[in-house]
C-alpha cells in the first residue's frame, strides 16, 4: 500500500509556496547568479479565487523558480517593466505575454527577435496545456495548470509517499458495517438525502462526521461543474479555527480518479520520517473517501484526528464511505431540483418570448386584386427571433420585410421587438430600402453587445411605379417566380453584413421592373433550407427550388402550404429545432 504524507505549509491568498526565492510576478528580475531556489514540495493554496496555473522557470544554472499566473496578462522579457523579468541577453525586452482567455491560458509572442518556442516549435500564439515547455531566449519555462486547484482554506501538497501508513480500498470492495453502524446510516439518510440548500446539506454532513467519527479537522471538496477542479465549500479545524488544511495530492487523486477510499493509521515513531508533513501536523489518523453517484465522482470527503485517540479502523472508513454515499444522493437530489427549477424558468421565459414574438406579426395581410401576401411562422423547439412585417406606405405601395435575429428565447424576442419599433417608426416616411437598413444597422450596432446581429431582407413594392426595390443585410436572397420562364430566379444581390456587425456597412440595392404578367416573390429564413431529417440531412436549396418551380403558379397561401407540406414530409419525425418562416407576395 502507498503511504501519503501531507505538507504543513500555510500560505496567504494567491501565493505559491517558496523558500528563499524572490517573489515573482511583481517586476522582480530573475538572474542566474542571484535568484534563490523554489522550495521542494511546494503547493497551491487560495482563499476565494485560486491561482490554478503557474510557470516553473529553469534558470541557466539549473535552479528553478515558480511564478503564479492569474487573470491579468503576464509580460515576459528583459525589460525591468515586465511582469516577469529575465536576466537573459537572448530574450527581447518585451518578448512574450501570457494571458487568461475563455479557452485557457494563451502565450503570445510580442514580435521578439529570437521567437517564442513551445515544445521546441516556434509559435506566434498558442493555447497552453499542462506540461507545455516554453523557451524564451535561453530560459525554459514549464506551464503547469493544476486540475486539483482549490478554493477555500485547503492546500494541495506534492510529497514523496511511503507504503507503510496509508491503505487504499478499491471502489468495488463492498462496505462492511456492524448492525449498529448500518442502523445509523439508515437513520442519517433523511438528514442527507432530503431536498435542501447545498451548503446546508454539506454542513449537515460535516456535523455528522464530527459527531460520529470524532474528527478534529474535516473538509468537503466538490468538482466544479464541467471541470476537473475542486472547490472546498466546507473546511473545519476545531484546533485552530483560522487555520486551513493541507492534503496530499496522491490521496486526492486516488479518490478522484479511481474512486478509492484511503485510511491513514500512523506508524511507530521509529518508522517515521520526522520531516514528513503528517507527523509535522500531528495527524494521528485520517480518512478520505470519494463522493460518487454511479460512475460519476462528485468530489471527496476528508477528516482526521490530531489527538492521541485510537486510530481509525476498517469499519470506520466503511462507515465514512456510507455517509459519503448518502451525501452523494443528497447532492444529486439538489442537482435534479436545480435542473427542474431551471427548466421551469426556461419554459416560462420561452412562453413569454413566444407571446412577444407572435404579437409582433401583423394581424392582417393584403389580399386584393393584383396584390396578395401570405406568411407563415411556425415555431421550432426553441423560440428564435424570426420576424416578418407588411406595412402600407401610400397608394399601391407596401414595405415587406423578413428578418432573423441571432439567439433565442427572451433576448431574441426583445431585440425583435426593438427592431419592429424602429421599422414602424421609420419605414412609412422612406422609399429607400438600403438607407433604412443603414439607419437600423446604426441603431442595433450602438445598442447591442458583440455577437448580436440580425439578418434582414427589406422590399418596397411600388405597383404605381411598377417597381420592386430590394435590399439585404446578410439575408438569403428571395426567389422570383414567373410562368415563363419556369425556372425560379434567385435575385442577385451584393453581399453585406447583417445588421449590428459593422457600423458603416453599405447595403446593396436592386430594382426589378414589375411585369404585366403575375410575379411572385418568395422570401424565407434559413429554418426552411436547414430543416433536417432523422439522419441530419438538410432539406436544402435544390429541393426548395424544385418545389417552387412545380408550384410557381399557385397563390401565395397555397404555395406556402405546399412548401410546408414538403418540408414536413422530408423531415419526418425529426424534431424541428429552428423557426420556419416564409413571406410570399404575388403581384399582377
Residues 133 and 161 placed together within one structural domain of the fold: no
B/e letters for 152-190, b = 16+ CB within 10 Å, e = fewer, are bbbbbbebebbebbbbbbeeeeebebeeebeebbeebee
Residues 381 and 488 placed together within one structural domain of the fold: yes
Is residue 17, in this structure, part of any structural domain at all? no
Residues 413 and 534 placed together within one structural domain of the fold: yes
3-state helix, strand, coil in the chain (%, to 5): 25, 30, 45
Is residue 68, in this structure, part of any structural domain at all? yes
Helices (H), 178-286: 179-193, 198-213, 249-258, 277-281
Q: Which three cell numbers stand for residue 580?
A: 420556419
Task: Mark which of 98, 128, 145 sits at the end of a domain.
Answer: 145
Residues 310 and 457 placed together within one structural domain of the fold: no
- Enumerate residues 6+ apart whose C-beta is below 8 A from 375: 361, 365, 388, 390, 560, 581, 582, 583, 584
Question: What would the pLDDT profile of 189-248 be if each residue is shown by its tens digit?
Answer: 888 888 888 888 998 898 889 888 988 889 999 998 777 788 898 888 876 655 677 788
- Give the rounded distance of the alpha carbon of 325 from its chain centre: 29
Is residue 355, in this structure, part of any structural domain at all? no
CATH of the domain at 514: 3.60.40.10
Is residue 11, in this structure, part of any structural domain at all? no
Asked if 526 contacts 404 with a C-beta cutoff of 8 angstroms, the reply is yes
Residues 303 and 448 placed together within one structural domain of the fold: no
437 φ/ψ angles, rounded to the nearest 5 degrees: -60, -40
Cα separation values, 1 from 161, 163, 248, 316, 512, Å: 10, 5, 15, 18, 84
Is residue 226, in this structure, part of any structural domain at all? yes
Residues 429 and 508 placed together within one structural domain of the fold: yes
Residues 426 and 567 placed together within one structural domain of the fold: yes
Q: What is the pLDDT of residue 487?
A: 94
Task: Mark which of 111, 145, 179 sits at the end of a domain.
Answer: 145
Question: What would the pLDDT profile of 304-327 be if each residue is shown by its tens digit?
Answer: 888 766 788 899 999 999 999 999
Radius of gyration of the chain (CA): 34
B/e letters for 227-248, b = 16+ CB within 10 Å, e = fewer, are eebbbbbbbbbeeeeeebbbbb
- Enumerate residues 6+ apart whose C-beta is below 8 A from 439: 422, 426
Per-residue pLDDT of the chain (588 residues; tens, 9 = 90+): 333 322 222 222 222 222 233 223 334 344 433 333 233 333 333 333 334 578 888 665 556 677 888 788 999 999 988 989 888 888 999 999 999 887 789 999 999 999 999 988 899 999 998 778 899 988 888 888 754 444 447 777 765 445 567 888 888 888 888 888 888 888 888 888 888 888 889 988 988 898 889 888 899 999 987 777 888 988 888 766 556 777 888 888 889 889 998 998 865 443 444 334 454 456 788 899 999 998 899 999 999 888 766 788 899 999 999 999 999 999 999 999 888 888 888 778 777 777 777 778 898 999 999 899 999 998 776 666 789 999 998 888 999 999 998 876 677 778 888 888 899 999 998 999 999 999 999 999 888 877 789 999 999 999 989 999 999 999 999 999 998 899 999 999 999 999 999 888 999 999 999 988 899 999 999 999 999 999 999 999 999 999 999 999 999 999 999 999 999 999 998 887 778 899 999 998
In terms of Cα–Cα distance, which of 80, 149, 77, 69 is closest to 106? Answer: 69
Q: What is the pLDDT of residue 29?
A: 42
Neighbour order of strands in the sheet with 489-490: 367-368, 371-378, 580-587, 519-524, 479-481, 489-490
- Give the rounded distance of the alpha carbon of 77 from its chain centre: 33
Is residue 78, in this structure, part of any structural domain at all? yes
Residues 463 and 320 placed together within one structural domain of the fold: no
| Location of C-alpha cell 433565442 | 408
Domain hosting 104: range is 53-145
Q: Which three cell numbers stand for residue 62?
A: 539549473
Query: In sequence order, what are the beta bridge partners of 156?
Result: 44, 247
In the chain, the number of structural domains is: 3
Q: Which three cell numbers stand for residue 554?
A: 399557385
Secondary structure class of 468 (helix, strand, coil)? strand
Residues 134 and 74 placed together within one structural domain of the fold: yes
Whether the predicted model's global pTM rises above the 0.85 cut: no
Question: What would the pLDDT profile of 391-423 be if each residue is shown by its tens digit?
Answer: 998 888 999 999 998 876 677 778 888 888 899
Is residue 423, in this structure, part of any structural domain at all? yes
485: preceding bond cis by omega (within 30 degrees): yes
Nearest-angstrom CA–CA distance, 206 and 228: 23
CATH of the domain at 103: 2.60.200.20
Asked if 43 contacts 250 with a C-beta cutoff of 8 angstroms, the reply is no
Cα separation values, 483 from 414, 520, 561, Å: 41, 10, 19
In terms of Cα–Cα distance, which of 42, 48, 46 is closest to 249? Answer: 42
Residues 120 and 186 placed together within one structural domain of the fold: no
Q: Read off the DSSP letter of residue 152.
A: S
Query: In sequence order, what are the beta bridge partners of 237?
Result: 217
Residues 411 and 324 placed together within one structural domain of the fold: no
Residues 377 and 297 placed together within one structural domain of the fold: no
**Beta carbons within 10 angstroms of residue 451's beta carbon:** 9
Q: Which three cell numbers stand for residue 535?
A: 439522419
Q: What is the pLDDT of residue 8?
A: 28
Q: How many residues does the chain have?
A: 588
Is residue 46, in this structure, part of any structural domain at all? no
- Enumerate residues 6+ apart whose C-beta is below 8 A from 79: 85, 93, 94
Amino acid at each position: 500500500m502507498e503511504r501519503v504524507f501531507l505538507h504543513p505549509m500555510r500560505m496567504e491568498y494567491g501565493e505559491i509556496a517558496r523558500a528563499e526565492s524572490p517573489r515573482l510576478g511583481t517586476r522582480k528580475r530573475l538572474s542566474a547568479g542571484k535568484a534563490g531556489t523554489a522550495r521542494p514540495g511546494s503547493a497551491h493554496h487560495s482563499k476565494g479565487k485560486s491561482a490554478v496555473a503557474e510557470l516553473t522557470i529553469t534558470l541557466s544554472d539549473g535552479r528553478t523558480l515558480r511564478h503564479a499566473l492569474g487573470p491579468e496578462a503576464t509580460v515576459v522579457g528583459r525589460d525591468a517593466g515586465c511582469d516577469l523579468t529575465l536576466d537573459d541577453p537572448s530574450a527581447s525586452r518585451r518578448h512574450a505575454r501570457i494571458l487568461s482567455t475563455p479557452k485557457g491560458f494563451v502565450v503570445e509572442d510580442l514580435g521578439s527577435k529570437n521567437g517564442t518556442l513551445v515544445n521546441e516549435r516556434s509559435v506566434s500564439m498558442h493555447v497552453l496545456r499542462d506540461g507545455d515547455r516554453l523557451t524564451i531566449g535561453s530560459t525554459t519555462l514549464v506551464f503547469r495548470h493544476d486540475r486539483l486547484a482549490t478554493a477555500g482554506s485547503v492546500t494541495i501538497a506534492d510529497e514523496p509517499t511511503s507504503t507503510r501508513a496509508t491503505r487504499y480500498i478499491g471502489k468495488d470492495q463492498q462496505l462492511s458495517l456492524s448492525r449498529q453502524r448500518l442502523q445509523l446510516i439508515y437513520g442519517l439518510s433523511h438528514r442527507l438525502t432530503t431536498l435542501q440548500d447545498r451548503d446546508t446539506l454539506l454542513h449537515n454532513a460535516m456535523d455528522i462526521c464530527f459527531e460520529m467519527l470524532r474528527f478534529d479537522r474535516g473538509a468537503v471538496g466538490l468538482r466544479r461543474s464541467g471541470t476537473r477542479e475542486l472547490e472546498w465549500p466546507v473546511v473545519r479545524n476545531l484546533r485552530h479555527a483560522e487555520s486551513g488544511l493541507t492534503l496530499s495530492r496522491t490521496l486526492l487523486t486516488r479518490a478522484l480518479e479511481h474512486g478509492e477510499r484511503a485510511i491513514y493509521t500512523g506508524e511507530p515513531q521509529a518508522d517515521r520520517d520526522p520531516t514528513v508533513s503528517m507527523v509535522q501536523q500531528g495527524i494521528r489518523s485520517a480518512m478520505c473517501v470519494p463522493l460518487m453517484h454511479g460512475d460519476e465522482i462528485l468530489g471527496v470527503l476528508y477528516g482526521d484526528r490530531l489527538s492521541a485517540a485510537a486510530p481509525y479502523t476498517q469499519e470506520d472508513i466503511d462507515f465514512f464511505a456510507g455517509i459519503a454515499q448518502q451525501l452523494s444522493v443528497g447532492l444529486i437530489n439538489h442537482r435534479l431540483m436545480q435542473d427542474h427549477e431551471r427548466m421551469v424558468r426556461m419554459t416560462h421565459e420561452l412562453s413569454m418570448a413566444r407571446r412577444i414574438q407572435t404579437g409582433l406579426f401583423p394581424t392582417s395581410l393584403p389580399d386584393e386584386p393584383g396584390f396578395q401576401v401570405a406568411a407563415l411562422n411556425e415555431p421550432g423547439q426553441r423560440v428564435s427571433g424570426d420576424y416578418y412585417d407588411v406595412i402600407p406606405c401610400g397608394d399601391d405601395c407596401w414595405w415587406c420585410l423578413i428578418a432573423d435575429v441571432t439567439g433565442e428565447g427572451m433576448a431574441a424576442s426583445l431585440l425583435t421587438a426593438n427592431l419592429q419599433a424602429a421599422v414602424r417608426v421609420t419605414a412609412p416616411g422612406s422609399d429607400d430600402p438600403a438607407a433604412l437598413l443603414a439607419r437600423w444597422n446604426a441603431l442595433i450596432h450602438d445598442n447591442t453587445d458583440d455577437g448580436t446581429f440580425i439578418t434582414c431582407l427589406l422590399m418596397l413594392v411600388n405597383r404605381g411605379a411598377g417597381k420592386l426595390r430590394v435590399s439585404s443585410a446578410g439575408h438569403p436572397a428571395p426567389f422570383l417566380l414567373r410562368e415563363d420562364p419556369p425556372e425560379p430566379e434567385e435575385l442577385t444581390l451584393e453581399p453585406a453584413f447583417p445588421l449590428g456587425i459593422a457600423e458603416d456597412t453599405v447595403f446593396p440595392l436592386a430594382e426589378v421592373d414589375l411585369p404585366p404578367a403575375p410575379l411572385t416573390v418568395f422570401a424565407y429564413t434559413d429554418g426552411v433550407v436547414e430543416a433536417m431529417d432523422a439522419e441530419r440531412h438538410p432539406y436544402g436549396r435544390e429541393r426548395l427550388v424544385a418545389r417552387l418551380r412545380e408550384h410557381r403558379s399557385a397563390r401565395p397561401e397555397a404555395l406556402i402550404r405546399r412548401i410546408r407540406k414538403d418540408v414536413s414530409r422530408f423531415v419526418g419525425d425529426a424534431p424541428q429545432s429552428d423557426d420556419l418562416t416564409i413571406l410570399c407576395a404575388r403581384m399582377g
